[in-house]
Amino acid sequence: MSYLLLIVQTPEQRQTPPEVGRGRYQRMLDYARRLEANGVLLASEALRSSAARLVSRDGRAIVTDGPFAEAKEVVGGFFLLDCATRAQALALAAECPATEWASIEVRETGPCTES
């Protein structure tokens, strides 16, 4: 089964001194290497703060550029893992360094029409 670990944080949590940010990023890279070495990492990326939202109305695409002022949280990145169980995904999420400055949302992937 695939599980997505979403790194969720407030915009303020991204505003750290450069040396702190570089240290955190290095720890996340090291975490990704451990996941890869254990054979569970399918993909991972950090996400930038800028974004765009797209909706389609009356056959017309409408794009709104971000960042979005109403956002109280941002998705800072993700890890897509191949885990045998939810318990394994949660255990691996608990090892993620980002738990110290953000929260990790663990979601199983699958069809959105199933409950």
Distance CA 65, CA 107 (A): 27
How many CB atoms are located within 10 Å of the residue 81 CB?
23
CATH code of residue 88? 3.30.70.1060
pLDDT band at 65 (very low <50, low <70, confident <90, very high): confident
pLDDT of 70 reads: 64
Share of the chain above pLDDT 90, in %: 69
Sheet with 41-46: strands ordered across = 41-46, 74-82, 2-9, 103-108
Residue 78 lies inside a defined structural domain of this protein: yes
Residue 115 lies inside a defined structural domain of this protein: no
Arithmetic mean of pLDDT over the chain: 91
Where in the sequence is the domain holding 15, given as residue range(s)? 2-108
Phi, psi dihedral angles at 43 (to 5 degrees): -165, 155
Residue 113 lies inside a defined structural domain of this protein: no
pLDDT band at 61 (very low <50, low <70, confident <90, very high): very high
Q: Which two tokens stand for residue 79?
A: 């890890």
- Whole-model pTM? 0.84
3 has pLDDT over 90 = yes
Average of pLDDT values for 37-43? 98
Which residues neighbour 19 within 8 Å (Cβ) at sequence distance 6 or greater? Answer: none
How many structural domains comprise the chain? Answer: 1
